[in-house]
Amino acid sequence: MTADPLLKKKKPFLVPSKTFAEHILQYELELTGTATSLVLLAYLLGVPLAEKCIFISYNVGRDSYSKGMDDMYFVAFWTIALTFLRAASMSYIYHPLAKAFGVNLISKRQRIAEQGFMFTYYAIFWVLGMYIMYCSPHWFNTSQYWIDYPHLYTTRNMKYYYLVQMSIWFQQLYTIHIEKRRKDHFAMVTHHFITITLLIASYFTNFSRIGNAVLCCMDLCDVILSLAKILKYLGFNTVCDIAFGLFAIAWPVTRHGFFTIIVWATITEPTRYLDMKWEPEKGKYFTPLTQKMYVGLFLLLQIIMIYWFAMILKIIIAVLKGKNAEDVRSDDEDDEPK
């Protein structure tokens, strides 16, 4: 008597093993929280290195700070600490808030949480960056990028601002590799590498003024775009379209208008104020070669932003046709409710 083939035991469904990135994401909160806590504990125990991680170094006078290799400890720690703060705020603040607003799709709650953290960060640092620039000689005055160069010392606010901005860009570079990739992943990675290179180079070559101005140009659009995405995921489509309209206006004004003024100033103004000599012992690093390098990196950023602006125009056309604003760079967000 033969057994019914339909009664034969079926082979178990093979679930693919998790990738390394998925394992990291699963324990990201615990790993980064532990690392952050250990550094804080070491500081409380009086470990000198821990203080360099948490606070800025090289105080040379009242509200005056120089630069050095110890700044790397600060950037490394805050890259980890910001990763922890992002994971914690997403899990315990933004996810519950999204659920309270009736968002049942896990993917949408995740998107709201991601954008919630970025909106909070960019809003704070755009306001701080504008305040620093307002209190500085280079407030809407590009000649002050070069006058009295090298600017060897920075204020306390400028140093914290610059190094934390450096940390968040390293953190974002980690995030875009560890989380689900978007359609413009290559452009995003290139953009992040260029930005980090410019931040590090401008900091150690004493051009934090121009770096502050560039960051202010970039951050405003990120504030508005994050807000527009949050409104979209919450279902406030009309308000989302208004926010996206403001974003569509702010983008060409700041990222193609003001930023182009900064690039043009880098091309035309230095020879009026600088001797263009390489003298590291005096903190002078701006030569015709380094000028070309800075301009080249700026132009690469501009090309990437033109590529993104073309995507924005597609969304504008869709909105004018009666559709809702939607980020064409994002992946599909289908998921099961929870």
Cis bond upstream, residue 150 (ω within 30):
yes
pLDDT band at 252 (very low <50, low <70, confident <90, very high): very high
Global pTM exceeds 0.85: yes
pLDDT band at 10 (very low <50, low <70, confident <90, very high): very low
pLDDT band at 334 (very low <50, low <70, confident <90, very high): very low
Please state the domain extents for the chain. Answer: 23-320
Whether 170 and 79 have beta carbons less than 8 Å apart is answered as yes
* 69 contact partners, CB below 8 Å, separation of at least 6: none
* 158 contact partners, CB below 8 Å, separation of at least 6: 132, 136, 208, 212
Helix (H, G, I), strand (E, B) or coil at 137: coil
d(CA 302, CA 317): 22
Q: What percent of the chain has pLDDT over 70?
A: 90
The helix/strand count (H/E) of the chain reads as 13, 2
Helix (H, G, I), strand (E, B) or coil at 284: strand
N-term to C-term CA, the chain: 48
pLDDT digits (tens, 9 = 90+) for 205-236: 999 999 999 999 999 999 999 999 999 999 99
| Distances, alpha carbon 233 to alpha carbons 10, 155, 188, 239, in Å | 41, 40, 22, 12
pLDDT band at 330 (very low <50, low <70, confident <90, very high): low
Whether 199 and 72 have beta carbons less than 8 Å apart is answered as no
pLDDT band at 31 (very low <50, low <70, confident <90, very high): very high
Q: What is the pLDDT of residue 317?
A: 86
